[in-house]
Structure 1
Amino acid sequence: MATFVPYKNYFYNQFHGMSSLIVHSVGIEQSSPGFVHGPDVRQFYSLHFCLHGGGILRTNNKVHTVEVGDLMLIYPHTKVYPKADRQNPWELCWVGFTGGDARLLTDAIGFTPLKPVLQTPIGSRAKIEETFREIYGCRGDRPAQIVGMTGKLYSCLSFLMTQTSQVFPHNPGLEYMEPACEYIAANFANKITVEDIARAVGVSRSCLYRAFLANMSLSPLDYLTEYRIKASCNLLEKGCFSLKEVAYQCGFTNALYYSKVFKKVMGFPPTNYLDHLSAYRPKVEDSES
C-alpha cells in the first residue's frame, strides 16, 4: 500500500468582503487516507480540482464520487461531508471565493447544487492545474496581491467556461438574492421572520421562497437558520461565551432550542464543536512543505 504524506499549504485573505468577486482562501493539500473534512457548513464557495487519488462528496442527501481530473464545488450554507479515499486519498488544489457574481459564474461552468462534481477533458487538466497554482502564487494581503488573486480567479473561471460551453443562466428571482442575504447578515441576531425578509426585499413570501429554491436549493428559513448556526460557530471558537449567550447573540430564543438546531444542521451538539474543530479542521499557518 502506498504511503501518503499529508500536507496542506494555504492562505486566508483577511479582506475577503470587499468586492463582487474576491478570493477568500486558496491552497493545495494531500489528505491522509480516509480523512473527513466535515461535517462542515461554509460561508463561501469552495472550488476544488482533484490532482491525484479520489474521494467522495456527501451533500444534499446524495453521494458524489470524485476522481482524478474532476472539479468539485462546495456551495455556501450547505452541509457537506467531503471524504478522501481510504486507499488512494485525493490531492486537491482549491480556491474559496465570495461575492455577488459567484453563483452566476459557477452556474455558467455547469455546476448546480445537485451536480457539484464535473469531469474535465484530459487534455485540459494541466492548464486547469496551472490556473489554480497561479491564484496561489499571487497570495497575500497587499492590495496588489488581493487584486492579483481575483484576476487569476477570473482567468481560471473563464477557462473552465470554455470547457463546458455553457451560457449565462438566469435563475428566477436572482435579483432578490443579494438584498435578502444582506438583510439576513445585518439582522440575523434579531427575531426576524421570513416575512420580515420578504418585506425588506419588496416581494411576497412565496416569491422569495421560489427565489431561494431556484438559486440556493434551500428555503429562506433554512438559509437564515444555517447562517445563525455558522455565526454561532464563530462565537464558540472564541471560547468566552456560554451556550445561552451564544444562542441569544445569534437570534435563538433559548439555549436548548439552539442546541437542538445546531445538532440538526452540523450533526453534533455545540458542546462538541471545539473538539470537532480540533480533530478535523486544524489551524495551520501558510507553509511550504
Structure 2
Amino acid sequence: MNPDHDDYSVAFNPSPSAAELTVLFSGEAQPISLHKMGPTIHDYYLIHTVLSGYGDFMIRGTSYRCGAGDSFVIFPDELFWYQADEASPWRYAWFAFNGPGAAAALEAIGVSPESPVVPGSLNPHVRNAYAQLRRCFDTSLSPELSNLEAEGWLRLLLHQLGAARAKKRLAAPAPADSDHAVKQALQYLTLQFAQPISVSHMASMFGYHRTHLCKLFKQATGMSPMQYLLQIRMQRAELLLASSMTIEQVASSVGYGDALYFSKKFHAWSGFSPTEYRKQLRKVSADGGE
C-alpha cells in the first residue's frame, strides 16, 4: 500500500507498443488529505478523472479547482503540481499514454496546456473504460492483443472527454457584459503577469472604468485584480523555484525587477524566503516525498 494513499492500485503495460497511441499504465487511488505531487514534470501524457472529493491542479502558472466529474491533463515536459483537498480529498482514476498521435488526439478534443481541464467528464462509459483498461494488462493475452485492446479503450476515453467538452460548450449561455469584462481581465492577468501591470491601464484598454471593473472582478473571484495578480505571480514563483534559475531570474520572470522586493513579497505570501522555500523543496525531494 502506498503510504500517501488509503487505497491505491495500478496496472502497467508490460510491453508497450510503438503504435500511434500507446497506453503505459492506468490506476485508481484515494490519496490522503493534502497529498501533493510536484512541482515536477513527466515525459508522457497523464489524465486524471476525479471520481469524488476535491483537489487543486496547477500548470503554466494557473491553478484549477477540480471536483467529482472533472478530468485534468498533464503534458510532457510541462511543470505541474496537484494536491488533494484537506477536508474532502479527491479519489481519482488515471491513465498515462504517449505516441506520435497523442498531441493531435488531445488537440482534436480541445485540450491543451492552456485549457487542461474537462468538466463533467465522468459517466458510466468512462468508469467502465478505466476498469477495462486496467483489466486488459492483467490477462493472459499476448502483448500485441493487449496493446490493441488498450488502444481501443484509450480512444474511447478520449472520445468521452471530447464529447463532454463539446456538450459543455454548446450548453454555455452567451456571456453577459459583466462576465465578458471579468474574462478579459483574467485572461490579461494570466498571460501578462510577468509585465508591469496597472489596473487603470487594463480597464481603459478594455473600455471599462477602473472602479467598475474592480467591482465586477471582486464579485466574480473574491479578490481584487491586484490580489489575483499577486496570487498568479507567487504560484508561478513556487514552480520556478523548483528549477535551477537564480532568485533574480525567478523574480524577473514573475514581474519583479527588484529581487529584494520580490523576496519580501514571497515571504509574506509563503512564510519562507525564496531561498528557504527552495531548501524545503530539495529536502522533500531528497526524502523521496510525493
TM-score, length-scaled by structure 2: 0.55
Moved more, 78-87 or 149-158: 149-158
Note if 1:127 corresponds to 2:143: no
Partners of 2:159 and 2:70 lie apart in 1 by 17
Amino acid at match of 1:279: G
Amino acid at match of 2:133: I
**CA deviation after TM superposition for structure 1 residue 16, in Å:** 3.3
Q: Does the CA contact (< 8 Å) of 1:43 and 1:77 recur in 2? A: yes
Q: Does the CA contact (< 8 Å) of 2:118 and 2:164 recur in 1? A: no
Instruction: Map Cα deviations across residues 147-186 of structure 1 (whole Å, 9 max, x no partner).
Output: 22112111221233233349xxxxxxxxxxxxxxxxxxxx
Amino acid at match of 1:43: D
RMSD of Structure 2 on Structure 1 (CA): 3.0
The structure with more radius of gyration? 2
Percent sequence identity is 19
Give the structure 2 partner of residue 97 of structure 1: 97
Partners of 1:61 and 1:154 lie apart in 2 by 29
Partners of 1:164 and 1:5 lie apart in 2 by 30
Note if 1:275 corresponds to 2:276: no
Instruction: Map Cα deviations across residues 108-141 of structure 1 (whole Å, 9 max, x no partner).
Output: 22212111112116xx622222222221121258
Map 1:186-201 onto structure 2 (within 5 A). Answer: none
Note if 1:145 corresponds to 2:146: yes
Moved more, 150-159 or 73-82: 150-159
Q: Which runs of 5+ in 1 are unaligned?
A: 167-259, 281-289
Note if 1:160 corresponds to 2:161: yes
Partners of 1:134 and 1:61 lie apart in 2 by 34
Amino acid at match of 1:149: A
Partners of 1:84 and 1:264 lie apart in 2 by 28
Map 1:69-88 onto structure 2 (within 5 A). Answer: 69-88=69-88
**CA deviation after TM superposition for structure 1 residue 80, in Å:** 0.7
Q: CA 1:261–1:117 in 2, change beyond 3 Å: closer, same or farther?
A: closer
Note if 1:136 corresponds to 2:159: no
SS in 2 for 1:83: strand
**CA deviation after TM superposition for structure 1 residue 274, in Å:** 5.7
Give the structure 2 partner of residue 44 of structure 1: 44
Partners of 1:163 and 1:152 lie apart in 2 by 17
**CA deviation after TM superposition for structure 1 residue 273, in Å:** 7.7
Partners of 2:242 and 2:123 lie apart in 1 by 41
Instruction: Map Cα deviations across residues 216-245 of structure 1 (whole Å, 9 max, x no partner).
Output: xxxxxxxxxxxxxxxxxxxxxxxxxxxxxx
SS in 2 for 1:39: strand
Partners of 2:81 and 2:163 lie apart in 1 by 29
| Runs of 4+ residues deviating >4 angstroms | 267-274
Amino acid at match of 2:154: L
Instruction: Map Cα deviations across residues 63-105 of structure 1 (whole Å, 9 max, x no partner).
Output: 1111110011011101111101011011000100001111111
Q: Does the CA contact (< 8 Å) of 1:27 and 1:136 recur in 2? A: yes
Q: Does the CA contact (< 8 Å) of 2:28 and 2:92 recur in 1? A: yes
Q: CA 1:147–1:61 in 2, change beyond 3 Å: closer, same or farther?
A: same
**CA deviation after TM superposition for structure 1 residue 17, in Å:** 5.5
Amino acid at match of 2:130: F
Q: Does the CA contact (< 8 Å) of 1:49 and 1:129 recur in 2? A: no
Q: CA 1:261–1:59 in 2, change beyond 3 Å: closer, same or farther?
A: closer
Partners of 2:123 and 2:245 lie apart in 1 by 38
Q: How many residues align?
A: 181
SS in 2 for 1:55: strand
Partners of 1:55 and 1:261 lie apart in 2 by 21
